[in-house]
């Protein structure tokens, strides 16, 4: 089992461990008894994940004498709404939850954002842990403490920094995910390689094709060895950045490479384009700009585009979205330093970034 400690020097009480191991979900009751994150637990998930994993987790906890309730919402980006926040908080009040209790976020990035935001504001904050079930959530949103909900077309415009008490990464969850969901998560892994680590980028070029087993009827049967290494390296790269800048005031902004365009693309599509797909296109668009500005060599931009292509990710805008459509949305991006001034994370070569 891999244990990755995310340690904050100035806020040691917010430090936590990320546990990575296939089938670790069955060991979670042991960790909850040992660390006593809460007297009672409430699993927040979506209706789809509840049927696949949520009911089993609740049963497992109760079998181990752990009090566990479950609250589910409709799946999809639209779940990240003020209306759902209100409904979940009302249910927690009705169930008698208080600051001595703990929330479990079980699901993808949407659920992590939603549950984490509830944990940040309910009774001015209570503990929560992350159990991500998608590759995208495993390598990105479950690590680092950023939570958020959407307001109209603006993605994550309302949010808080709330570090979990622990993160449990069980790659066997991915065997219930279609190939498209794996590809969606790999966009963030490619982002890490392109902006932070050229050796990891080379590893991805060589090994992404090995994730998918060639046998018939094996769409949901992935190469766990390769997936686990990609997950672990991605988490280590993100953790190194977050440990230095946990509130996104400086270095952490590098994690937004491709995201200024990407978030605008998601909004322009009314969230019909998945996050990973939007970030893939976003990386290509910013790279085109960097090549024009003679900051990035075209051969590096093409190499990144080729890896995204080989992964099965889109690399250009769909016909119904124009670059001009994105300008207003990008000016409203919460990461901009000055009103109306668009800030981009740039790379000058693979594995080497520039912050404005």
Q: Are 149 and 117 in contact (CB under 8 A)?
A: yes
Active-site residue flag, 259: yes
Is 53 among the residues known to form the active site?
Answer: no
Active-site residue, selected from the candidate residues 155, 191, 263, 305 = 263
Active site residue 33: no
| Active-site residue, 99 included | no
Q: Which of 238, 253, 277, 305 is catalytic?
A: 238
How many C-beta atoms lie closer than 10 Å to residue 270's C-beta? Answer: 10
State the catalytic residue, choosing from 53, 146, 271, 305. 146
Catalytic residue, from 80, 155, 236, 252: name it: 252
Query: Of the residues 256, 277, 305, 346, which is catalytic?
Result: 256
Spot the catalytic one: 155, 165, 259, 346. 259
**From 10, 34, 124, 339, active-site residue:** 124
Task: Establish whether 238 is a catalytic residue.
Answer: yes
348 belongs to the catalytic site: no
Q: Select which of 21, 219, 248, 288 is catalytic.
A: 248
Query: How many Å apart are CA 335 and CA 316, to the nearest integer?
Result: 23
Q: Establish whether 252 is a catalytic residue.
A: yes
- Which of 188, 266, 287, 305 is the catalytic position? 188
256 is a catalytic site residue: yes
Catalytic-role residue among 80, 165, 253, 275: 275
Query: Which residues are catalytic, by number?
Result: 124, 146, 188, 238, 248, 252, 256, 259, 263, 275
């Amino acid at each position: 089992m891999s244990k990755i400690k995310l340690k904050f020097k100035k806020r040691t009480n917010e430090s936590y461990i990320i546990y990575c191991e296939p089938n670790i979900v069955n060991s979670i009751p042991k960790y909850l008894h040992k660390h006593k994150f809460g007297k009672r637990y409430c699993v927040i998930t979506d209706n789809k994940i509840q049927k696949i994993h949520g009911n089993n987790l609740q049963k497992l906890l109760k079998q181990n004498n752990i009090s566990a309730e479950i609250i589910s919402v409709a799946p999809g980006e639209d779940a990240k709404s003020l209306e759902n926040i209100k409904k979940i908080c009302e249910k927690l009040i009705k169930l008698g939850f208080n600051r001595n209790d703990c929330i479990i976020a079980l699901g993808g990035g949407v659920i992590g954002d939603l549950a984490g935001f509830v944990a940040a504001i309910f009774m001015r904050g209570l503990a929560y842990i992350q159990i991500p079930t998608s590759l995208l959530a495993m390598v990105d949103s479950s690590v680092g403490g950023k939570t958020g909900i959407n307001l109209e077309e603006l993605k994550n415009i309302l949010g808080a920094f709330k570090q979990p008490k622990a993160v449990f990464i069980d790659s066997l969850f991915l065997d219930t995910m279609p190939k498209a969901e794996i590809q969606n998560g790999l966009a963030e892994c490619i982002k890490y390689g392109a902006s932070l680590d050229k050796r990891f980028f080379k590893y991805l070029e060589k090994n992404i094709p090995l994730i998918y087993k060639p046998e018939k009827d094996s769409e949901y049967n992935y190469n766990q060895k390769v997936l686990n290494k990609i997950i672990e390296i991605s988490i280590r790269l993100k953790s190194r950045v977050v440990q230095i800048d946990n509130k996104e005031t400086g270095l952490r902004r590098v994690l937004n490479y491709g995201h200024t365009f990407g978030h605008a693309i998601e909004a322009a599509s009314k969230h019909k384009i998945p996050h990973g797909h939007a970030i893939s296109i976003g990386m290509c668009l910013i790279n085109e700009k960097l090549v024009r500005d003679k900051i990035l060599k075209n051969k590096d931009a093409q190499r990144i585009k080729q890896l995204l292509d080989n992964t099965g990710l889109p690399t250009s805008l769909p016909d119904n979205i124009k670059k001009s459509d994105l300008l207003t949305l990008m000016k409203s991006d919460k990461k901009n330093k000055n009103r109306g001034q668009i800030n981009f994370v740039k790379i000058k070569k693979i594995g080497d970034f520039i912050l404005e």
